[in-house]
Amino acid sequence: MREELFKMERKGLVTEGQQVKVTERVNGSLYSYLVEPSVAMSGIYRSNQRIKSDTGIIKEIRENDRGFYLLVEFNE
Instruction: Give the chain's domain count.
Output: 1
Give the residue numbers spanning the domain of 20: 2-74
Q: Is the dihedral of CA 12, 39, 6, 72 positive or negative?
A: positive
pTM, 2 dp = 0.88
Q: Which amino acid is at 11?
A: K
For the segment 35-76, what is each residue's pLDDT rounded down to a tens digit?
999 899 999 999 999 999 999 999 999 999 999 999 999 998
The whole-number pLDDT of residue 38 equals: 85
Round to whole Å and give the CA distance between 19 and 25. Answer: 20
d(CA 29, CA 61): 29
